[in-house]
Structure 1
Amino acid sequence: MLRYVRRFLLIYQGFVLSGTVFVFCLLALVLAVIPGVRATRDLYDNLQMVRKEGEGLARKLTVLESIHEEDIKGQLLMMFTAVPQEKSVPTVISSVEGLALTAGVNLLDLSLISPGSLATGSANRQSLAEKKIGASGLPLTITVSGSYDQIRAFVSKINAIKRMFDVSSFDLSIGDSGQTQARVSLTAYYQPIPTKVGSIAGLLVPLNQKEEETLKTVAQYPDMTGVSSETLTPVSSGGKRDPFAR
């Protein structure tokens, strides 16, 4: 048997050596070269990802360095006054009362459309309109009375106060005595702060010109939550002055 093997090797020695070298090269290709190429490609992809993240962090750092901390705090406090983190029913009531006192109208009625939603989770579901705006809404209806000019002043200012309202419907009736009564359906907006924080690599986009102008406009709106009957200046009725009064 050994003789046949030795004879086979002598006859096919060249083929055996070539086959051995081929098998060795094939094993080296499968076990070393291909994994090495794959590892090199993965390393290149990781380097590209790290480079992009580094560029994003550099841009974010540039934006953060251009922002003043006190300005951000002031803007956040102002926006929380305009659009609170929760329904904040007390600020809704005080804002409506303050605006009514400022305009000189009588607040006859204030009612929430769905008061039961205050204690349930159903209010967390946003309507299509609210999703488009990007905030949740608390609907309410108010009834005020006064002169026509007072009613007009009240309605014209309701979209120009710190607490954000939107007029949904408006019904006006004028009595025989000239007393005007209006029933207004409003929506008070609120928006909870997101509980999920974005990734470090997320983009930080500075405010554009339109957003800056919106902040300046809202900053000029009066805050009606602190208005009371004591803070308003009495208006003279226009009658004759008592000459005997001191």
Structure 2
Amino acid sequence: MNIIAKWYYRLGAPNWFYPLTGKMLPWIAVIFLALLIPGLYMGLFTAPADYQQGDSFRIMYVHVPAAWMSMFIYFAMAVAAVVALVWRVRMAEIMIISSAPIGASFALIALITGSLWGKPMWGAWWVWDARLTSELILLFIYLGIFALYNAIENKQTAGRAMSILTLVGVVNLPIIHYSVVWWNTLHQAATVSKFDTPSIHIDMLIPLLLMAAAFQFLYLWILLLKMRANLLEQDLHCGWVKKIIWDRRKAHNGGN
């Protein structure tokens, strides 16, 4: 427990968080590529064609992980919002504002790829399906969080308002997840989560899980980059930032 608390407080300190994440970024990028390349290859070339949809189903390997990530990122933001409101941890607020545009991007990718996938299946680019509509609402919530934070000049007030709005928007997550159960929708029911009676072939499932894991590390990589940039912007005149700038200039000049 003491080790966990020690890491918790260290990650909340910008002067410790920044150099640590700088060392992590290359490794995260390597893991992302190590998952993405075989996932794409297996999904595009080795996975068998669907008996109904043919090869058009292969867009699933982008659409499904993107949809999962749009919900996962929001859940992570909601956890950070609780930390920010209860314990007043500034790094949690930075995590939220850094995650919002990433989550919005994944939601947009899910909507676009879903539209491309739905056209040959449903005969229309867009239908007001329960899952499509709730995913669109999630995109608007992401954009609303980002807009709210940037509309308030006092960043302490902005962080608190953003955290509250994030928690309010959590109600949309179970609506997205259970929409295929609660309403008669065009979307198929759960397949991957039915491990007791799987309804997706293992050769299709493996690349899907690889792509999902790759998207997780892509999110982590972009998140750390954005958090580091936001930290530098907010703490530009703080001592720890000046020290980093001085050390880099010194290294560039050969230690002179």
Normalised by the size of structure 1, how large is the TM-score? 0.26
The structure in which a higher percent of residues are strand is 1
The structure in which a higher percent of residues are helix is 2
Higher relative contact order (CA 8 A, sep 6+): 2
Between structure 1 and structure 2, the one with the greater Rg is 1
Normalised by the size of structure 2, how large is the TM-score? 0.25
